[in-house]
Chain A
Amino acid sequence: MSIVISALVVMSLLGVTFGIGLALASRRLAVEVDPRIEQVTEALPGLNCGACGYAQCAAYAEALVKGEASVGLCSPGGEEVASLVGTILGLKVEVATPRVAVLRCHRQNCPERCDYDGLDDCRGAELLQAGFLACHYGCLGLGTCVEACQFEALLMGEDGLPRVIEENCVACGACVCVCPRNLFTLESVSDYIHLRCNSHDRGAVARKVCERSCIACRLCERECPVDAITMVNNLAVIDQEKCIRCGQCVRVCPNEVIVDFRLARGIAIERDQHEEETELAS
């Protein structure tokens, strides 16, 4: 009997002591939480993709409530989420046009410099003497970006180049971060003329390592009616703000490196370009 009493005494004593101790500690270590953070976190998609620039949706919610971040940054959420968040916080919402990832490489018949037998990862391959391909700027094709995409917006094609599935792409920027050669850029959907090459090699070298490379022949620069194209380090750069999307550069490029992305998207093109469409598509 006395053991029972002793046991009860011990447990009660411990319970009371620890209870008081915890209550005091919770007062001392209290964290002020704005209830709106919880509401905004609920409204966000909860994908923790990092497109907004914050590692987790909870972190973005906190920044929103504190007023440190703007409302339209969630690309997967889009307009719906932005307006929800705007309602909770009582803010006006400006949503940017949707963006998608664009691969700036069209590697064709690039010879291999060596036999690569290492980590099955583009970053690993890049660390070993700048990769196993003759072109130091092009896609290595080991699929690190495909692994990194959590929205199934990247598929490895048969030619060893990743294809962007634009319906799924939310422009989170995971592929941009992960590619060791910085081949991805996030472009607005309304811009559809892009250069699919990243090579800063001189024309003679570029021609040897890839059949569809930019050789800096400057034909596009000369033909562009609005001077939107400049040559930077043997690579053509298209200024999307000046570009009027006439398609002249696409027609003139000898290696077909400048590409009209509408063809891949299946959008109808005006009739006087119909012949170009059939030619480029074949």
Chain B
Amino acid sequence: MNYIVIILSMVFVSNFVLARFLGLCPFIGVSRRTSDALGMGLAVTFVMTLASAVTWVIYTYFLRAGAANIFYRLGLIGRSQSLVPVLKVTSYILVIAVLVQLVEMFLHKVVPVLYRTLGIYLPLITTNCAIMGVALLSTTAWPGAQEPRFLEAVVQGFGAGIGFLLAMLLMSGIRERLALSRVPECFQDVPIAFICTGMMALSFMAFAGMIR
């Protein structure tokens, strides 16, 4: 039951693009066509899920203060000492970069068309704040006793990815129709897309407060 709550909250209540405004670069850049948006959304979901999983392992066993910390077991640091503020960004970005590289290699071999279509946006997933956001959220953002378990962290990452995918599909549907409408020239393409994003974000506010 808990997992369904997590997914619903990641997809609707705190949608990474529309409620948290993370990951706007690929959101605007790849959402011109629905087929591209679908491919990008799936790639991001994959990276987010794996990133959540790997960073949870690193967080629990290497960074967090507590009995599980390997360095505490080795006697190097005290029980309440934590490596989190020192290493969270560095190690997480390393993990994310490696995962994106893996996805790139996989796509180049298995689905070269998608690889070529996504072009520069594929390596840009590395610097995408949404992925880092998910990694940090699944691990470091929980106070005290509420530290998430492994499966909860993974589901959180997966849900965030699905939320991103949903937002991208909605946006690409709107943009495909906008391309044929009479938009004033100064607003065409990107500006009108941002205005639409704002309106979509407003409508997604309706979900706020659904889940505490």
Contact = CB atoms under 8 A, between A and B. Distances in A.
Contacts of B108: 29, 31
Contact of B101 (A3, A22, A30): A22
Nearest to A6: B71
Contact of B105 (A5, A14, A25): A25
Interface in A1-48: 2-3, 5-7, 9-11, 14-15, 18, 21-22, 25-26, 29-31
A267 interface: no
Interface in B79-95: 81, 83, 86-87, 90-91, 94-95
B116 to A, nearest CB: 7
B98 A121 contact: no
A119 B86 contact: no
A10 B76 contact: no
Given A5-B76, A26-B105, 5 more contacts: A7-B83, A10-B62, A18-B95, A22-B98, A30-B109
23 contacts: A3-B86, A5-B76, A7-B83, A10-B58, A10-B62, A10-B83, A10-B91, A11-B87, A11-B90, A11-B91, A11-B94, A14-B58, A14-B94, A15-B94, A21-B98, A25-B105, A26-B105, A29-B108, A29-B109, A58-B116, A119-B181, A120-B182, A124-B180
Q: Which 10 A-B pairs have the closest CB atoms?
A: A29-B105, A6-B71, A18-B98, A2-B76, A29-B109, A119-B180, A121-B180, A10-B62, A6-B76, A2-B77
Interface of B: 58, 62-63, 71, 76-77, 81, 83, 86-87, 90-91, 94-95, 98, 101-102, 105-106, 108-109, 112, 116, 180-182
Interface of A: 2-3, 5-7, 9-11, 14-15, 18, 21-22, 25-26, 29-31, 56, 58, 119-121, 124
